[in-house]
């Protein structure tokens, strides 16, 4: 469902709720109250209405009671709460989850680069110099270990010999052409096994002191947002000259073949996890009247609970006060609840 339809549904619910509100004027036209103030015949006030203190007090008392009731209803309407029909809430994508204990992670967001694993990278060269008679593969071709890549005629024996791949993998580079001369020891092909890649993560400043091998790492592709989990393998002893950063390295499984050498990635390194008695997702938080609040559902009613917050990470936040374990907290589309409450408050003010 698109956002316009969602807001339209919520608006219908809001208008319906306002239509049921006694503050809309229902009490102001109470026949009983009108009779009490003006007499039974609808004309001038009777002597009893003006002359007897008891009756006068009763009339004012009824009026005061009516106003007090109206204020009570308005006060309830201005309470930070709203009622939404379950079908409308479901259609709008409003979802709840129980507040519960969890963990808050100390995380570092970093950038990185994918590179081939050195032990899985081969430079294929000619054994003897001579003209290249045949090329059997192109860049991007997958090859087997022992597969022929090129045929060269040796200048020494004047006989031809084959150049083969020492490992299985993908041809990353080809520095040869038919008829060209292959120099002895000069690399003709670069072949890499890309089933695993290195992720070199660049860490700056004092953050490097907190990053140690064994830390969990979540690596995200920039092209499509896919995230893979791995573990930090080592922190390199030197400093990257160009960026003046410390390089932390992890090995990444390239199961789908879409992690490509040379690609930039985004990563999140988790340094430490701390238990928290109560946590909610960051998506549950809203600001209402300059307070941090979450919305708790009880039946069809959603009420704002001001909360005192503690530590947070990229996904959730610790709640120190204002909630209890098991409370049904709105964790998706919480801004719609906020908008509904603010609209209701503005309507009652006018």
Residues 163 and 24 in one domain: no
User: With contact defined as beta carbons under 8 Å apart, do 132 and 150 qualify?
Assistant: yes
Q: Which among 246, 345, 338, 242 has a CA at the least distance from the CA of 287?
A: 338
Residue by residue, DSSP assigns 234-278 as EEEEEEETTTTEEEEEEEEE-TTS---TT-EEEEEEEEEEEEEEE
What's the pLDDT band for 41 if we cut at 50, 70, 90? very low
Lowest mean pLDDT across 33-47, 119-133, 285-299: 33-47
Displacement of CA 64 from its chain's centroid (Å): 52
Predicted local distance difference test score (pLDDT) of residue 325: 94
The Cα–Cα gap between 288 and 294 comes to 9
Residues 111 and 253 in one domain: yes
Average the pLDDT over 16-25 and give the result: 41
Residues 160 and 43 in one domain: no
* β partners of residue 127: none
Residues 67 and 215 in one domain: no
The Cα–Cα gap between 281 and 287 comes to 15
Residues 153 and 10 in one domain: no
Predicted local distance difference test score (pLDDT) of residue 56: 42
The Cα–Cα gap between 241 and 271 comes to 25
Residue with tokens 């102001």: 28
pTM for the full model?
Answer: 0.59
Average the pLDDT over 9-15 and give the result: 48
- φ/ψ of residue 288, rounded to 5: -135, 120
Average the pLDDT over 202-220 and give the result: 89
End-to-end CA distance of the chain: 32
User: With contact defined as beta carbons under 8 Å apart, do 150 and 160 qualify?
Assistant: no
What's the pLDDT band for 349 if we cut at 50, 70, 90? low
The Cα–Cα gap between 16 and 25 comes to 15
Residues 304 and 315 in one domain: yes
User: With contact defined as beta carbons under 8 Å apart, do 66 and 30 qualify?
Assistant: yes
CATH number assigned to the domain comprising residue 135:
2.40.50.100
Residues 258 and 280 in one domain: no
For 49-69, how does the pLDDT look when each residue is reduced to its tens digit (9 = 90+)?
344 444 444 434 333 333 332
The Cβ-side half-sphere exposure at 86, using a 13 Å CA radius, reads: 3
Predicted local distance difference test score (pLDDT) of residue 48: 38
Contacts of 71 (CB under 8 A, 6+ apart): none
Residues 57 and 93 in one domain: no
State which H helix or E strand residue 197 sits in: strand 196-203
CATH number assigned to the domain comprising residue 212:
2.40.30.170
* β partners of residue 121: 192
Question: Tokens standing for 178?
Answer: 């038919």
Lowest mean pLDDT across 33-42, 78-87, 215-224, 247-256: 33-42
pLDDT at residue 27 is higher than 90: no
Select from 271, 302, 335 the last residue of a domain: 271
Predicted local distance difference test score (pLDDT) of residue 44: 40
For 65-111, how does the pLDDT look when each residue is reduced to its tens digit (9 = 90+)?
333 323 333 333 336 899 999 999 999 999 999 999 999 988 889 99
* β partners of residue 246: 203, 239
Contacts of 60 (CB under 8 A, 6+ apart): none
Predicted local distance difference test score (pLDDT) of residue 79: 65
pLDDT at residue 292 is higher than 80: yes
Predicted local distance difference test score (pLDDT) of residue 118: 94
Residues 245 and 112 in one domain: yes
Residue with tokens 């992670």: 105
**Could you give the 3-state DSSP secondary structure of residue 105?**
strand
Average the pLDDT over 126-138 and give the result: 95
Lowest mean pLDDT across 189-193, 205-209, 221-225, 316-320: 205-209
Residues 202 and 345 in one domain: no
pLDDT at residue 138 is higher than 80: yes
Select from 271, 296, 327 the last residue of a domain: 271
Residues 210 and 255 in one domain: yes
Most confident segment among 53-57, 271-275, 294-298: 294-298
> What is the extent of the structural domain holding 219?
107-116+195-271
Residues 164 and 234 in one domain: no
The Cα–Cα gap between 321 and 346 comes to 28
Predicted local distance difference test score (pLDDT) of residue 239: 85
Number of structural domains, the chain?
Answer: 4
Select from 256, 271, 286 the last residue of a domain: 271
Q: Give Cα separations from 215 to 1, 116, 120, 249 (angstroms).
A: 40, 21, 24, 11
User: With contact defined as beta carbons under 8 Å apart, do 308 and 322 qualify?
Assistant: yes
Predicted local distance difference test score (pLDDT) of residue 348: 61
pLDDT at residue 137 is higher than 50: yes
Contacts of 26 (CB under 8 A, 6+ apart): none
Crossing angle between the packed helical segments 31-38 and 53-78, to the nearest 10 degrees: 150
Predicted local distance difference test score (pLDDT) of residue 154: 94
């Amino acid at each position: 469902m698109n956002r316009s339809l969602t807001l339209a549904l919520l608006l219908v619910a809001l208008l319906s709720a306002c239509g049921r509100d006694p503050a809309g004027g229902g009490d102001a036209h109470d026949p009983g109250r009108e009779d009490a103030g003006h007499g039974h015949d609808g004309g001038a006030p009777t002597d009893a209405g003006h002359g007897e203190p008891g009756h006068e007090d009763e009339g004012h008392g009824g009026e005061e009671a009516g106003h007090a009731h109206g204020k009570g209803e308005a006060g309830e309407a201005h309470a930070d709460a709203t009622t939404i029909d379950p079908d409308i809430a479901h259609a709008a994508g409003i979802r709840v989850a129980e507040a519960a204990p969890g963990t808050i992670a100390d995380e570092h967001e970093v950038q990185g680069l994918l590179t081939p694993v050195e032990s899985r990278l081969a430079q294929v060269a000619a054994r003897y110099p001579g003209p290249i008679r045949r090329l059997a593969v192109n860049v991007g071709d997958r090859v087997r270990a022992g597969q022929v890549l090129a045929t060269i005629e040796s200048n020494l024996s004047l006989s031809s010999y084959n150049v083969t791949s020492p490992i299985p993998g993908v041809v990353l580079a080809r520095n040869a052409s038919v008829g060209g001369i292959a120099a002895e020891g000069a690399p003709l092909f670069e072949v890499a096994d890309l089933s695993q890649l290195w992720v070199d993560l660049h860490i700056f400043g004092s953050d490097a002191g907190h990053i140690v091998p064994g830390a969990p790492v979540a690596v995200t592709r920039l092209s499509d947002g896919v995230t893979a989990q791995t573990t930090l393998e080592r922190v390199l002893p030197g400093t990257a000259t160009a960026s003046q950063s410390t390089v932390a390295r992890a090995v990444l499984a390239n199961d789908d073949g879409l992690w490509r050498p040379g690609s930039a990635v985004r990563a999140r390194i988790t340094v430490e996890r701390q238990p928290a008695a109560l946590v909610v997702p960051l998506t549950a938080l809203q600001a209402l009247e300059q307070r941090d609040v979450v919305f708790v559902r009880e039946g069809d009613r959603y009420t704002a609970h001001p909360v005192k917050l503690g530590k947070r990470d990229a996904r959730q936040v610790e709640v120190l006060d204002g909630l209890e374990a098991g409370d049904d907290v709105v964790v998706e589309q919480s801004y719609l609840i906020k908008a509904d409450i603010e609209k209701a408050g503005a309507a009652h003010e006018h």
